[in-house]
Amino acid sequence: MKKKRPTAFTRSIGPATHPDHHLWRNGRLWWVAFTYHTSEHRKRRLRASLGTTDVREARALRDALMAETAKEAGKQLSLRFPHYGSNGPQAA
């Protein structure tokens, strides 16, 4: 009898994705963290303070930073969410 894969390991896809993905609050300020692959076949992790206490502003800054990183030559975001691509956030 085949074992079923536990549901805890399923991926979050599309609009059901948590709006604060890649964000966390450290004290009062919001921070972002994500990884990307370089053209040298290396994986890099970017972590940065967004310098804001407002979660809506943090989401906008995160989206802009991820889109900017994805547009840089030789960088490809390493994400499990299909609505982010080489052109940044997209409607799912």
Does residue 10 surpass a pLDDT of 50? no
66 close to 50: Cβ distance less than 8 angstroms:
no
The residue ranking higher by pLDDT, 20 or 80, is 20
Residue with tokens 């991926």: 11
pLDDT of residue 6: 46
Range 2-17 average pLDDT: 48
Indicate the pTM of the whole model. Answer: 0.68
- pLDDT at res. 79: 76
Tokens representing 11 are 């991926």
Per-residue pLDDT of 19-51, as tens digits, reads 888 999 999 999 999 999 999 989 999 999 999
